Amino acid sequence: MSELYGPVHTVLELTWEVRREIILVLPEALWDHKLYYTKSEFYTYNDEGDLVSEVERDEKDEIIRQIEYTYDSDGYLAVETISYPNSGTTQKVHKYDQTGDRKVIQSKSEDLFKENHTVNFYNKNGLCEKVEEYNYRGELSGTKYYEYDDQENLVNIKTLDSSGKKIIEINNTFNSQNIRYKCLSNFWDPIIRGHQIKRITYFDEHQNETRKIYFNSEMGIERFNVYEYEYDKYSNWTSQKTIQNGYLILRRERTIEYFE
């Protein structure tokens, strides 16, 4: 979900996309370029602008995921309850220190009876610098490092696996108005040593994606996405098309209701 503007109450988002037997197959290799309805997502916000629930349904209108968000008396996110009809419920419990910095997120899955958690570390300005992720056995499973510029813009994110090997690095570029306009993402295959995939994403002033370029391991362009939008009076998009390598591969339509 992209950033929303104005007194949003609910958002209904419908998605149509091409069918692919193999998820990464290029659109020019498809024999059928028709868009098929795949899912709906319904979001509800309170009058403070906090997201309170999400419901995702498949093409048959059957619920496949629900999330309920509850907040404490200070307005901080306290619990996320995530329900899957066929696999049980997971709860994420958010704990904070006296400054309001989130220190721990505990995740417990009722069906598996296993509990994971993360620990967040903050600098003196209240910005998160590191997140450690632990599995249900208490073993470190991954670490993320965050770097900021002098304007406190998030400019770099590094993700390491349990052995300390870098598997993802993201670099954000901001303009003079501190608006992000480009994101460079690098992914390293954890199995094939040295295998790297790069992606460059460009954004408009609303932080909606406008272009996305995928490079293969030889740094040749593999896919090129262009995104087209229609907006309402609050500058929230109501229609979005994804065009990949010249083919329309996805369309989203949103109905947004606002508080009076």
Handedness of CA 192, 165, 135, 125 (dihedral sign): negative
Are the beta carbons of 46 and 15 closer than 8 angstroms? Answer: no
Give the phi and the psi of residue 92 in degrees, each rounded to 5: -110, 120
For 128-145, the pLDDT digits (tens) are: 999 999 888 889 999 999
pLDDT at 164: 92
User: Which residue segments constitute the domains of the chain, with CATH numbers given?
Assistant: 8-258 (2.40.160)
Structure confidence at residue 65 (pLDDT):
96
What's the pTM? 0.86
Question: What is the model's pLDDT at position 176?
Answer: 94
**Cβ burial 199-237 (10 Å sphere, 16+ → b, else e):** bebbbeebebbeebebbeeeeeebbebbbebeeeeeebb
pLDDT along the chain (260 residues), means of 10: 90 95 76 93 96 97 97 90 88 79 64 71 89 89 96 97 93 96 89 73 94 84 93 96 95 97
Strand partners, 229: 240
Three-state secondary structure call for residue 29:
helix
Beta carbons of 58 and 64 less than 8 angstroms apart: yes
Burial 4-27 (b: 16+ CB within 10 A, else e): beeebeebebbbbbbeeeeeeeeb
